[in-house]
Amino acid sequence: MPAKTRTKTIDFEEKDESFIKKLADDIGCYYSKPNTRTYNLNKFGSSVNREMGVFGWVHKEEADCFWISTRKSWVTVAKARSLTGKKASEISSFPRDCQLDGDSVSFDITDNYQKIVTIMKLINETRSFKLQT
């Protein structure tokens, strides 16, 4: 299956924040809005950029079409971590990459919300960010 190319993002509306809040709650992380076209998924609730621990970026393509991009290397580490103590059937539940570009990978949230949440939880858990104090 060829990779689906994301060519544009559109601005988020106020009503979209409730979806982003639910997504962040389901993943167990924080979120912030650095600009009108992106929400960050953060490990920490800091408002200082270097202290956030950003591990994912949420974009909007159409009215109800959201997608998350993250680093491919982080997905690889999360998958490897899930191999310890998990059944093989759980490993195959990871979503297919919708977009491949260098070290980034994007997942279409509309494809399978729960699978995306699962992998983003693992990435959040495996990413080791040090909070600046």
The per-residue pLDDT for range 24-71, each reduced to its tens digit, is 999 999 999 999 889 999 998 877 777 788 999 998 887 778 888 888
Q: State the pTM of this model.
A: 0.75
DSSP 9-37: --PPPTTHHHHHHHHHHHHT-EEEEEETT
Backbone phi and psi for residue 60, each to the nearest 5 degrees, phi listed first: -125, 130
The per-residue pLDDT for range 68-88, each reduced to its tens digit, is 888 888 887 777 777 665 533
